[in-house]
Structure 1
Amino acid sequence: MTETRPSSRPHPLRPRLKPMLRRVVRDDHTLQLGVQPMRAVMLTKLDPPARGFVESLDGTRTLDELIATAEIGEEQARQVMRLLTDGGLLDDAALRPDALRGLSLAERERLGPDLDELSLSPADAADAGLSALARRRRAQVRVYGAGRVGAQITVLLAASGIGHLCVVDPAPARHEHVVPGGLSFGDVGRPREEAAAAAAREIAPGANIWTGRTASRPADRASPPDLAILAPVDPLDPLTAAELLQSGIPHLLVSATEGVGTIGPLVLPGSSPCLRCQELTRRDHDPAWPLVGARLGGYPPGEIACGTALATVVAAQATGHALAHIDGLPCQIVGRSIDITPDWQWKRRPWPIHPHCTCTCRPSPQGPWQGATYEDP
């Protein structure tokens, strides 16, 4: 059989091959689990009894019961189990689906594909993605800005299982803010935060969603969010970012300006470069940058030439990175940003900690930041 890297995963009580991995019998001695190259695993040199044992892992019996009825010896059966467990190919059918408690049948069915995806991600704990979904349902995310990008992010987060969402954007919706998956024509004239919250509630009625009108400020220390997303429709208010940093709240900057979307950096207060580090680095490489930023009214300057496809691509990518952070996975935009266009041209920009910024002087549970070097455009 194919060797896999060892892991700390415990053996499932009622082992079940992950049902989302398609099974393909290549020949009498080879069983393939999964067809996507990034997921697929080949089990080789299987004799018929060993293959029969693997295919019997359907979650209806305990490991001891499986071994007792297997046509292979206990030692070989446990070796097979160890390889499958270490490869992340098994779920434990004995675990209760507590993560779905309180959801209607319709919501459970709608979340099915998300749960299936989580079951195949590194966030899975051999429980078919249930613990990862439970983590999302406990999480609180605050979105600042509900224009073409921010409203879609709000809806996508709610649809992906985030249980607590606050939207902050009291400005009225206009026709140019209407995009599929975000605000609708019926929302024109309403506060954007109310319209985005309503759209999110429609897709996820079991989620707790409220607006900035009833929200506490980050500095109030009242139930701080696990993550804040800055998706400014107008020039970014640096005071908001400073308040999030001072309050120790992780925050992700997202923008779409002049036909280019930018995701990142994700700021982990006390352990990674902050948005002021970004500004100081720009100033070092462009002495006139403070004047440019002042004349823009803030940077990024807001949604400018933000087409529908661009807004959708940026919102989807930003949501993916936000979910990775909530899921506890390594995030590739800590201290980095990614510039993207709808035709899939990408550019990564690292942002180092600036020596004149005091942002990393605060203690942080996130651990030390591994530095980066600035690259000119």
Structure 2
Amino acid sequence: MATQINPALARLWIADNARQYGYRQALQVTDLTEPQQRLLDFFELGITSAQHKSLPGLAKTDSELTTDLEKRINRVLWHSRTGIESTEVEKRFAEIARMLLQGSDPAELKKSRKTKSVFIERLDPTGLTVAKALALAGIGKLISLDQRRVSSADVSELGYLPAQLGLARVRAAQDLVGCDMQMHSRLSSSFDEVSLAILISTDIVNPASYQTWLARDVPHVSILFDEEGVEVSPLVIPGRTNCLACFEKHRLENVENWPVIAPQLLALDRSLADSAMLLFASGVALNQALNFLDLEKHEPLSLRLDRSGQLGSFVPKATSCGCR
């Protein structure tokens, strides 16, 4: 067991005898004696269970002072069975900091993420961006049904390389992402093992996209680009939350001419994913995915960014479709 002051918190000098850890929910430790400062140095570096027993001697102080200080800083102490390799911290500090700031053990969470599989509906530049981020986060397997080839529209600073033009998107994405990425030509029983699905659409979400995951009880989130901006749906947990069909049913019943408009939008084949909308939506969807996969945490909110700069979060209106 290793004990350390949470490495994700900024270590801040306040005065000669005062230190602060973090600044959003800060812990300030004041009136420190020299022995207490030596103790803090050890806790900042991290100590093993064996070192913990001999800590008073190492810091040239007594057990009572050590126990008192440990109580004062208990809120920011982090305990781990294995600790974190220094090379891993250097390579993925931000990802590890996220885990620590959410109160998770990075070593345990890393193992858990390795067992997860995420479906990405499209491997266009948006899907590729999401795939890269999921790989960086340590998700073990990525799956897609996308059988398209890399087109000129896919080649960009946020997309594929010019040399990959004409390659199957999955193969090209595999080369760029580096983690286990699989393409399925049809829905199969392996889809029952998908941990979460990320749907990517323009103008309107195809009902066939989400019905697949409703039927399999797989949580899913939708990224929808439209003529004003982009909207990321709440995470849908089948049987527990309103689903995308509930949101669509409300529009069918309340938006003028929507029953006529919707089929025409489904027939359009275009992309409205400009760079600003793409990066915003990818980040929001990824954050929702990781919060659920790591903590089973979810919020009933859609997040929307318009090209005008207007940003909003709201509970989308829904009419029950009978999914619950």
TM-score range (shorter-chain normalised) is 0.7 to 0.9
Runs in 1 of length 4+ with deviation above 4 angstroms? 68-73, 108-111
Q: 1:122 touches 1:329 (CA, 8 Å); kept in 2?
A: no
- Once residues 160 and 195 of structure 2 are traced to their aligned partners in structure 1, the CA distance between those partners, rounded to angstroms, is 25
Q: How does 1:37-52 map to 2 (within 5 A)?
A: 37-38=23-24, 40-52=26-38
1:78 and 2:64 are equivalent in the alignment: no
How many angstroms does 1:109 deviate by?
A: 7.3
1:209 to 178, 181, 186: 181
The secondary structure found in structure 2 opposite 1:32 is strand
Q: Is the 8 A contact 1:123 1:328 kept in 2?
A: no
* Amino acid paired to 1:347: G
Q: TM-score, normalised by structure 1?
A: 0.75
Between the two proteins, the alignment pairs up a number of residues equal to: 321
User: Which of 71, 82, 107 lines up with 1:95 in the alignment?
Assistant: 82
- Taking the TM superposition and a 5 Å limit, the aligned residue runs for 1:349-360 are 349-351=314-316, 354-355=319-320, 357-360=321-324
Q: Choose which of 172, 180, 184 in structure 1 pairs with 2:149.
A: 172
Instruction: Determine helix, strand or coil for the equivalent of 2:150.
Output: coil
1:55 to 41, 44, 47: 41
Residues 203 and 265, structure 2, Cα contact 8 Å, conserved in 1:
no
> Which of 265, 268, 276 is matched with 1:296 structurally?
265
- Maintained 8 Å contact 1:15/1:90: yes
For the aligned residue pairs, the C-alpha RMSD in angstroms reads 3.0
CA distance in 2 between counterparts of 1:179 and 1:234 reads 22
Three-state SS of the structure 1 residue aligned to 2:182 is strand
- What is the Cα deviation at residue 68 of structure 1? 4.6
Deviation per residue, 1:270-328 (Å, 9 max, x gap): 11110011112223332422222122127xx6753322232222222322222222221
Q: Structure 2: which 5+ runs fail to align?
A: none
Aligned residue among 289, 307, 310 for 1:345: 310
Using the TM superposition, give the Cα deviation of residue 352 of structure 1 relative to its aligned residue in structure 2, in angstroms. Answer: 5.1
Aligned partner of 1:183 in structure 2 is 160
Map of 2:96 onto structure 1: 116
Matching residue of 2:4: 16
* Distance in 1 of aligned mates of 2:111 and 2:182: 20
Change (3 A) 1:216 1:289: closer
Q: Distance in 1 between matches of 2:141 and 2:230?
A: 26
TM-score normalised by length of structure 2: 0.86
What letter corresponds to residue 345 of structure 1 in structure 2?
Q
C-alpha distance in 1, partners of 2:243/2:207?
Answer: 11
Residues 96-245 of structure 1 aligned to structure 2 (within 5 Å): 108=88, 111-125=91-105, 129-201=106-178, 207-213=179-185, 216-217=187-188, 220=189, 224-232=193-201, 236-245=205-214
Residue 281 of structure 2: aligned partner: 314
2:216 matches 1:247: yes
Contact 2:203–2:226 (Cα < 8 Å) also in 1: no
- Contact 1:118–1:132 at 8 Å: present in 2 too? no
Per the alignment, in what secondary structure is the counterpart of residue 20 of structure 2? strand
In percent, how many aligned pairs have the same letter? 20
Matched letter for residue 288 of structure 2: H
Q: What residue ranges of structure 1 are gaps of 5+ in the alignment?
A: 1-12, 202-206, 361-377
More helix by share: 2
Report the CA distance shift for 1:88/1:309 in structure 2 as closer, same or farther (over 3 A).
same
Does structure 2 retain, via aligned residues, the 8 Å contact 1:232–1:254? yes
